Chain A
């Protein structure tokens, strides 16, 4: 048996969620009694169960005599570029409009792969942007205009 980092991390995650939600339910909400339940009772009960499960999972992970080999690292590259792409869509969708914003986010997202080169990525993003504008704004009639408020003043 090896000590499992995964199990310990999963347990820690459950414990953290259990504590956070339990704290909010117990102190931020009316708990009430079983006869007259407040909004906090059900979440508080769930948080306590979750906390207990977290302890058990972490304890299971500790059952071992040697440390498991280190697992693969965190894939920062895809995480950063893909999150940046979605956040950019949220920030700029209405100001830029469908075509420019789709172009922007697919261009950003494509760099989640290390091998991506600038020129092919530009070309591909342009194609996807045109395709999405045709499909969603013209085809399905989504109320997001092809060019946003920035281009209309």
Chain B
């Protein structure tokens, strides 16, 4: 019954009016900005991150999580109505979703996405609550060597799933790790890569780096492209799925949820992989599989359920081990660190309100999404029509004000400018930004654990392979690297990412 009492703690946190309000604001803003064309969930979170600094830690993380699944959902709305995926994980939704919209069935498609997401969210929330505690206990037996190996594994998985060349993704990780080391060395007090700037003694400002890379550089990229020809927004019509629709939705939603929950837990996994795999599986196993691609409701329900489940279970490694499994959780870890909370297995015992509050808020947030999105769909469609001419100066103002507000100082804004340009260069050279940010966040942690492990072993490098858990993790990392480099898999993998872009 410990499980129930834990959930009770969570409910008492979320039921506080202020926290409910933050959850609502997060979900609302997330959806609103996620719907805007050309602004993905990463840019949304990065942009709104500074707004949470003034809140309590619980309020901040609840709001951030709300922003995350709100923007995720907003992305699928544009995917269905305009064939514009707000983000990679709703790419597959465009296939059948837009076809349904063309046939005048946009309403049921939106409903299927919302209901699928809600069911998946509910199941995944329970899963997170059940799995996180035992994983945390396991994590307490981890020594620095295991932590080091686990982070290496996470980084390797993130490369395997990054778009583009493996080698370049590896390079981006090293670059991220290096830049993450900027600042004062905790063991010796030596300052590294600070170029004599006192402002850099505490390291580069994570928010400035993230907002620059995902907010500013995205604007430059959008403006450099040709003026997009936006298709007309499909008419929505009745939202209610027919009885036939409802019957056909159930199995795909359940399959999507199961697959998504599983794949979301993988370090480096999360929503993207989940949605792709569930679409492919659905095509094979569904009795209506042959209709998929021409506007079958299964093609919307399954991947939408899967990406939402994956988005939520990707919080499991973050909450229990303190290791980000994708860029979104990396951003949230960054926010927690700013709040003075060190993410890791200690959180569950030291800040039970934060931990259980977040888990319960995921479910409450999903319910709000359902209540918010279907009735308000007309308003979101209006937002879709805001021209980019007005949007991008507004986004720039938000980015600057947000980054300025971190310490009420101008210095982070220079970092914002530099990383905005750098982000554009990386993107132009087809270097994925996700491994960079993961490396950037993990840089100090991975070095600290590496040094501590070697300090304990007296400089014996074999400590990483003689401890069984550590050896197992490293072996998995090596196998994963070998598998994705195999010519056959490599071709398959490139195919998937070509389809996506």
Contact = CB atoms under 8 A, between A and B. Distances in A.
A and B found bound together: yes
Contact of B401 (A30, A112, A144): A144
Interface stretch (B67-75, B101-109, B259-267, B403-411): B403-411
Contact of A78 (B177, B224, B397, B413): B224
A117 B356 CA distance: 52
A80 B220 CA distance: 10
A9 B428 CA distance: 10
Contact of B54 (A37, A38, A60, A140): A140
Interface in A36-80: 36-40, 42-43, 46-47, 49-50, 53-54, 56-57, 60, 72, 75, 77-79
Contacts of A79: 220, 421, 424
Contacts of A125: 393
B192 A13 contact: no
B241 interface: no
Nearest to B451: A37
Contacts of A54: 171
Given A42-B447, A75-B223, A6 B429 contact: yes
B334 interface: no
B417 A86 contact: yes
A50 B174 contact: yes
B427 to A, nearest CB: 11
B178 interface: yes
A26 interface: no
B167 A57 contact: yes
A28 to B, nearest CB: 8
B142 interface: no
Contacts of B405: 136, 142-144
B408 A35 contact: no
A78 B390 CA distance: 15
A91 B410 contact: yes
Given A50-B171, A132-B397, A86 B51 contact: no
B192 A136 contact: no
Interface stretch (B284-292, B454-462, B477-485): B454-462
A9 B429 contact: yes
Interface stretch (B182-190, B242-250, B298-306, B344-352): B182-190
Contacts of B401: 89, 98, 102, 132, 136, 142, 144
A144 B178 contact: no
29 contacts: A17-B175, A21-B193, A24-B192, A29-B190, A30-B190, A35-B459, A36-B459, A37-B451, A38-B190, A49-B174, A53-B171, A57-B167, A75-B223, A78-B219, A78-B223, A82-B219, A89-B404, A91-B410, A93-B413, A98-B401, A102-B397, A106-B393, A106-B394, A110-B389, A112-B223, A112-B392, A124-B389, A124-B393, A128-B393
Interface of B: 51, 54, 165, 167-168, 170-171, 174-175, 177-178, 181, 185, 187-188, 190, 192-193, 216, 219-220, 223-224, 389-390, 392-394, 396-401, 404-405, 408, 410-411, 413-414, 416-417, 420-421, 424-425, 428-431, 447, 450-451, 454-455, 458-459, 461
Given A37-B451, A43-B181, A136-B401, 20 more contacts: A10-B171, A10-B430, A13-B425, A25-B192, A36-B459, A42-B447, A47-B174, A60-B167, A77-B223, A79-B220, A79-B421, A85-B393, A85-B400, A86-B420, A90-B411, A105-B400, A106-B393, A109-B393, A115-B389, A128-B393
